[in-house]
Amino acid sequence: MSRRAKRSSVDANISFLDIICCGFGAIILLLVIVKPMQPLVLEDSAIEQTGQVRALQERLFAIRGQVAYLETELTAKQEQLGSSERRVAILRSELESLMARLAAAEGAGTESLASIDDLQIALQSLTAEMRSLLSRRKANSNYIGGIPVDSEYVIFIIDTSGSMKSVAWRRLIKEVRSVLAIYPRVKGLQIMDDQGQYMFEQYRGEWLTDSPVWRRSIIERLPTWTTFSNSSPEQGIYTAIRSHFKLGDKISLYVFGDDFNGSSIARTVDVVSTLNKQNRDGETLVRIHTVGFPVHFNGSPGVDSKAMRYANLMRLLAEQNNGSFIGLNNVN
């Protein structure tokens, strides 16, 4: 091989090595510049979800404890009310006895003036105690279990979805009976589903005159009442306010359900606030009481998001519309 050919071969080998080195250098430079994506750690996500479930379960147990405490307190208040009523009866009996003695003393003149004065003082004392007990009982009579029951008209708005019908319907009928019991006499009743469809369509926009016949008809119709529902009670609330509010009427809405499929909690609250306006004293056109049935709280890990949305919406509606929110702890 000539010197010239050998020299050409060496130059070619050097150029090839230069290209290889430059290529490796470029790859290393790219690895240094570009930050690699951190791998997803699935175990941490699972641990975080487990912690959230545990926190929700602890909150549920705390709420159940509060419910038990409130039930105990309600029982004590009822016993106290019964004791007050018995005391009023005793005082009335003593009052009648004292009035009879005072009349006899003033008429016959057989009692001394001091005795008459003593009787009058005792009479005044008994009268003052009776007034105090009666005014206290009257002040508490507008509330039962923390729910104001001063309304003259009652409207039920009921979620008739499959989950309610299949799991909580017997408990729902029981709750409707309970609400009717705490309103022994009102001027009007009405019942509709969460879409604003009336149970008795021929009375749409009208009141059912309260009577034992209508109350019995509502309870008897409930087991077989079936209508379409998308678990969004806002339409029923809108219909109830628009169709039945009349200035001067005291109206309470009772919303029963288990979950919320509506598009927006904030929008629903805003629209209800626009319809159900407040006066200077903070009183709204109607009261909105809400009841949540724990259909989706069956003890399994995690909580159904629609059920949580329903609970949040019902709590807000009750707070902003002078009502009460009751979350039941079972469907039995």
Output the pLDDT for position 64.
73
Sign of dihedral through CA atoms 143, 318, 327, 234?
A: positive
What does 94-126 look like in DSSP terms, one character per residue? Answer: HHHHHHHHHHHHHHH--S-HHHHHHHHHHHHHH
The pTM score is 0.59
Output the pLDDT for position 52.
75
Output the pLDDT for position 111.
46
Q: Do residues 79 and 73 make contact, with C-beta atoms less than 8 angstroms apart?
A: no
Strand, coil or helix: 302:
coil
**CA–CA separation, 94 and 279 (whole Å):** 46
Q: If residue 155 lies in a helix (H) or strand (E), which one and from where to where? A: strand 153-158
Output the pLDDT for position 261.
87
Per-residue pLDDT of the chain (332 residues; tens, 9 = 90+): 555 555 555 555 566 777 777 877 778 777 777 655 555 554 555 556 676 777 777 777 777 767 776 777 777 666 666 666 666 666 666 666 666 666 666 655 544 555 555 555 555 555 555 555 555 544 444 544 456 677 899 999 999 999 899 999 999 999 999 999 888 889 999 999 999 999 999 999 999 999 999 999 999 999 999 998 888 888 999 999 999 998 888 999 999 999 898 888 889 999 899 999 888 888 899 999 999 998 887 555 555 678 888 888 999 999 999 998 888 888 88
